[in-house]
Structure 1
């Protein structure tokens, strides 16, 4: 084993591997990438209906020979399936794509709903995304039934604001097991992260390398987070890269991280990001927060996300 295999506990009692593998983008490269990740020891795979990568993930798992019972599989319901009557069919489609009869964690991808139907991005007559009429509380209640049936062994959300989280908890009966959100050394959201701890909600960090993804136009003129002098300097002490330090920092805070990569070499390096940082080095990374958020599709989705969170531009 090249890494510690750190596990965190969910409020369901299940364990989630702290180091996961993200499969957003590069649909055609995902099958070999997931096989490489599984061979490198990764046991937490993250996908979503909208990524179009569920079939590749399912196929990779089959080919890898890793038993389903050893895996922690996460997928997400898309905005066009938020109507309560569409929720179970959405999960069934994901399960079929993944070649399994349950997921370990099922998340609501966004609090916003789109018009129901087969189109992932339904458009109105002005070419804008056509909003649905379903409230995220109703969607979540439909998800709760599938949690109780065992098809989803845990349920949670992604990309919610604090007010949206508070309302969800108040109006539903199953506290989310996890909240997946943009979180990295340049967007640390300490208070929000602490709030999750107080509620027993696990946090999964997506984009753990911040603006290293070329789709984030906002981060293109900035130097890359993984080249941050503090991360690089801390890494030298351990013989690790800035990227590996960014992962270790998230894990040290009790969160899971889901870096993505297509190359076996980089995948291995990411796996080696599960190592122990000293308390002093964790504090050093805590000090480089810039409150920089790179992912905010509010304009495209017709919903004002993250209203009460750090990094939200007015």
Structure 2
């Protein structure tokens, strides 16, 4: 169920809370912490109230500094913001979950998180690097069952460290395993979704179970080596619709995902693009335009997480 406030689309999590459907992604692997800091400052000034973070992004301190500065200077309160972070794969062991959450809270300068996700179902060997490897360069896996990880996540909710918990990159069977044992149901599954990878079956599966879907890589990672198609932002159908609306192709793509009832988290450190990506609440796509865009689907996944291909919990070996 959706609602609106300040011209934004809000999605309902439960009887108490809504969250902004348009979030700001902070993944910026090639950018400096200063760039991330400035981008978050621009995002909050522009009106974004949903920030998507993760330990593996290695920039949560910069995000936290931007949040603190925004609260001090821009009359934004902590309660105005919905802050998300993610448990990294090398911290799946239940005794590491709380400490990992607390580390993100410390880096972000927060007393609590709004949402904490298991970043991937595939655990990695604990106690070392983000991507632990043996002397031959092979990635080292953990045998921890993500169901046990989930139970430790629930304990963090009980303690008041985080309001909601959820999943990321989980397939339908893995989600169901969690639902079968959960005391606290996951509220979100964050997955790759764009015009070339529509995820219709997984989205319907989640919606039927009251789980909101967040779309990452909404522009299909422009320039990614695995894209054998016309880049999303140059796709003729998108360009034609954008021209008819007086909008940018990026805005049409974001609006398409929002109208599918999803959360979407575009990322950029360009102030112009950060602002442009937020200007998607003053127009709508028609049913016919939605159908045309949906027909562009090619079931093409970009983020295949090749380091986990041999993991027993690798999520992409089934259809959805």
The Cα of 1:27 is off from its aligned counterpart by 4.3
Mapping for residues 203-214 of structure 1, pairs under 5 Å: 203-212=213-222, 214=223
Pair 1:23-2:26 in alignment: yes
Contact 2:139 2:307 in 1 (8 A): no
1:282 equivalent among 282, 286, 290:
290
The Cα of 1:161 is off from its aligned counterpart by 1.2
| Alpha-carbon separation, structure 1, partners of 2:84 and 2:187 | 12
Pair 1:296-2:304 in alignment: yes
| Alpha-carbon separation, structure 1, partners of 2:94 and 2:247 | 47
Aligned to 1:34: 40
Pair 1:74-2:84 in alignment: yes
Aligned to 1:157: 167
Note closer, same or farther for the CA distance 1:205–1:271 as it changes in structure 2 (3 Å cut): same
Aligned to 1:241: 248
Secondary structure at the counterpart of residue 151 of structure 2:
helix
| Alpha-carbon separation, structure 1, partners of 2:213 and 2:284 | 19
The Cα of 1:172 is off from its aligned counterpart by 2.2
The Cα of 1:260 is off from its aligned counterpart by 0.5
The Cα of 1:147 is off from its aligned counterpart by 1.4
The Cα of 1:296 is off from its aligned counterpart by 0.5
Q: Deviations over 1:92-129 (max 9, x none)?
A: 00000011111111000000111111421111233111
The Cα of 1:278 is off from its aligned counterpart by 2.1
Deviates more, 1:89-98 or 1:17-26: 17-26
| Alpha-carbon separation, structure 2, partners of 1:167 and 1:103 | 25
Structure 2: any 5+ residue segments left out of the alignment?
1-5
Aligned to 2:98: 88
The Cα of 1:12 is off from its aligned counterpart by 6.2
| Alpha-carbon separation, structure 2, partners of 1:286 and 1:202 | 19
Aligned pair count reads 305
Pair 1:226-2:230 in alignment: no
Aligned residues: CA RMSD: 1.5
Structure 1: any 5+ residue segments left out of the alignment?
none
The Cα of 1:242 is off from its aligned counterpart by 1.4
Secondary structure at the counterpart of residue 221 of structure 2:
helix
| Alpha-carbon separation, structure 1, partners of 2:168 and 2:8 | 24
The Cα of 1:305 is off from its aligned counterpart by 2.7
Contact 1:131 1:302 in 2 (8 A): no
Contact 2:218 2:254 in 1 (8 A): yes
TM-score (norm 1): 0.93
Note closer, same or farther for the CA distance 1:61–1:4 as it changes in structure 2 (3 Å cut): same
TM-score (norm 2): 0.91
